[in-house]
C-alpha cells in the first residue's frame, strides 16, 4: 500500500471507492469525492474552520423534521433545487416552464367549483385569475386539474397560520373549452425562515432573503407532463432577486388593478380588485420523456 501524502490522498480514496457494485452509486461517489476534495484543497480550511462547518451541518440536520426542512432551504438558496428542477423538466419552447415546488404544498386540497373563491375570509386584495389550459398545438385541455396554494394577503401559508380548515389552497378543473376561473386574494412577497442555520448564514451576506409575490400552481392532465410552477406578480420589487432563483420570464404576469365593478366570474365588487390572465400550455408526456 502506498503511504498517504497530501498529494496522493484523493487518488487513493477514489481507488478505494471504486469497489461499489451499483454503477450509479459508484458514479455518484466518484464524482462526490473528486469535487469534495477539490473544494477542500481550494479553500484549505483551518481545523477550527472545519469544525465550525461540521457544527453548522449538524445543526442544520438537527433542526429539520417533517414540518421544518432546513436542508431543503439550504438547497434552495444555493440554487440547487432549481437546477435539479430544470434538468428534470426540459420542456419545449412555448410550454409553461416549471419552478420549484417549495415546502408549503399540502396534498388533498378541497375541490372548488369553477369561478369559486379559495380565499374565503383570508385578508388581502381580491384577485380573479382566468385563462385556459392548452396543449402545445393550441388544443384546449378539458378536465385538467389545477392545484393552487399561496400566501394570504399578510404573507402567510396555511402551515404558518396553523388553521384547522384548509387555508389559501384549492383544486379547480378546466372546463370543456379548457378555460378556468377562480377567485383568491393577491399574495405578497415574503421572507424565507431566517431563524435557523440558513438564516444565520444569510445574515453574513448582503443577499436578499425575500421571495417575490407568487401563486403556486400544479397543473396536470392525463397524457401530459405535469407542470409544478408559480405565477409571479409583475413589478414586484424582489422579482430580480428571488432568494431561491424561481423566477422565469414566462411566469411573470400582470396583476391588472380594477377600481371595482364586475369581476371575470360575474361577481360585482364595490372594492378594488386584481384581474390576472394566464394560459397554461402543457406538453404531451411521451415527448417530454423522449427529450
Ligand atoms: Fe411560495
Higher pLDDT, 69 or 142: 142
104-108 mean pLDDT: 89
The residues pairing with 190 across neighbouring beta strands, listed in sequence order, are 211
Q: Tell me, what CATH number does 136's domain have? A: 2.60.130.10
φ/ψ bin of 245: left (φ > 0), alpha (ψ from -120 to 50), beta (otherwise): left
Compute the distance from residue 190 Cα to the ligand 1 centre, in Å.
8
67-72 mean pLDDT: 88
Least confident of 3-7, 112-116, 232-236, 287-291: 287-291
Collapsing DSSP to helix, strand or coil, 182 comes out as: strand
pLDDT exceeds cutoff 60 at 218: yes
The answer to whether residues 37 and 84 belong to one domain is no
180-190 mean pLDDT: 97
Q: Which domain holds residue 8?
A: 1-44
In whole angstroms, give the CA distance from residue 180 to residue 203.
42
How many beta carbons lie within 10 A of that of residue 30, not counting itself?
A: 16
The answer to whether residues 96 and 168 belong to one domain is yes
193 assigned to some structural domain: yes
pLDDT exceeds cutoff 80 at 289: no
With 0-12 / 13-18 / 19 or more C-beta atoms within 10 angstroms meaning exposed / middle / buried, residue 100 is buried
pLDDT in tens, 225-258: 999 999 999 999 999 999 999 999 999 999 999 9
229 assigned to some structural domain: yes
- Mean pLDDT in the chain? 95
The answer to whether residues 144 and 285 belong to one domain is yes
15 assigned to some structural domain: yes
The answer to whether residues 16 and 90 belong to one domain is no
Compute the distance from residue 104 Cα to the ligand 1 centre, in Å.
7
pLDDT in tens, 6-54: 999 999 999 999 999 999 999 999 999 999 999 999 999 999 999 999 9
The answer to whether residues 190 and 239 belong to one domain is yes
The answer to whether residues 114 and 21 belong to one domain is no
Compute the distance from residue 102 Cα to the ligand 1 centre, in Å.
6
151 assigned to some structural domain: yes
The answer to whether residues 107 and 198 belong to one domain is yes
Compute the distance from residue 178 Cα to the ligand 1 centre, in Å.
26
Q: Which residue bears the cell 392525463?
A: 222
Size (the chain), residues: 291
Compute the distance from residue 176 Cα to the ligand 1 centre, in Å.
30
The answer to whether residues 238 and 94 belong to one domain is yes
The answer to whether residues 103 and 203 belong to one domain is yes
Q: Report whether 192 contacts 243 (CB < 8 A).
A: yes
Instruction: Please give the tally of structural domains in the chain.
Output: 2
Q: Report whether 152 contacts 167 (CB < 8 A).
A: yes
How many beta carbons lie within 10 A of that of residue 234, not counting itself?
A: 14
The answer to whether residues 235 and 179 belong to one domain is yes
The answer to whether residues 107 and 38 belong to one domain is no
The answer to whether residues 119 and 261 belong to one domain is yes
pLDDT exceeds cutoff 70 at 1: no
Compute the distance from residue 18 Cα to the ligand 1 centre, in Å.
41
18 assigned to some structural domain: yes
56 assigned to some structural domain: no
Q: Give me the pLDDT at residue 288, please.
A: 47
User: Nearest CA to 174 among 144, 147, 149?
Assistant: 144
Compute the distance from residue 230 Cα to the ligand 1 centre, in Å.
8
Compute the distance from residue 215 Cα to the ligand 1 centre, in Å.
7
49 assigned to some structural domain: no
Amino acid at each position: 500500500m502506498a503511504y498517504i501524502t497530501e498529494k496522493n490522498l484523493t487518488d487513493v480514496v477514489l481507488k478505494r471507492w471504486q469497489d461499489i457494485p451499483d454503477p450509479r452509486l459508484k458514479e455518484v461517489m466518484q464524482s462526490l469525492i473528486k469535487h469534495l476534495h477539490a473544494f477542500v484543497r481550494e479553500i484549505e480550511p483551518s481545523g477550527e474552520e472545519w469544525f465550525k462547518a461540521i457544527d453548522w451541518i449538524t445543526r442544520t440536520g438537527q433542526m429539520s423534521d417533517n414540518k421544518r426542512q432546513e436542508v431543503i432551504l439550504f438547497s434552495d438558496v444555493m440554487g440547487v433545487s432549481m437546477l435539479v428542477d430544470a434538468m428534470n423538466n426540459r420542456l419545449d419552447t412555448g410550454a409553461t416552464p416549471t419552478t420549484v415546488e417549495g415546502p408549503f404544498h399540502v396534498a388533498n386540497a378541497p375541490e372548488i367549483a369553477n369561478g369559486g373563491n379559495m380565499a374565503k375570509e383570508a385578508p388581502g386584495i381580491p384577485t380573479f385569475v382566468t385563462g385556459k389550459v392548452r396543449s402545445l398545438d393550441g388544443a384546449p385541455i378539458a378536465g385538467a386539474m389545477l392545484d393552487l396554494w399561496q400566501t394570504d394577503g399578510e404573507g402567510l401559508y396555511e402551515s404558518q397560520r396553523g388553521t384547522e380548515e384548509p387555508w389559501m389552497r384549492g383544486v379547480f378543473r378546466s372546463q370543456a373549452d379548457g378555460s378556468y376561473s377562480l377567485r383568491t386574494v393577491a399574495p405578497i412577497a415574503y421572507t424565507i425562515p431566517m431563524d435557523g442555520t440558513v438564516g444565520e448564514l444569510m445574515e453574513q451576506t448582503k443577499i436578499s432573503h425575500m421571495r417575490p409575490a407568487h401563486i403556486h400552481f400544479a397543473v396536470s392532465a392525463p397524457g401530459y407532463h405535469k407542470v409544478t410552477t408559480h405565477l409571479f406578480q409583475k413589478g414586484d420589487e424582489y422579482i430580480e432577486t428571488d432568494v431561491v432563483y424561481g423566477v422565469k420570464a414566462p411566469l411573470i404576469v400582470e396583476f391588472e388593478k380594477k377600481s371595482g365593478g364586475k369581476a371575470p366570474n360575474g361577481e360585482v365588487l364595490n372594492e378594488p380588485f386584481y384581474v390576472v390572465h394566464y394560459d397554461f400550455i402543457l406538453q404531451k408526456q411521451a415527448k417530454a420523456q423522449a427529450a
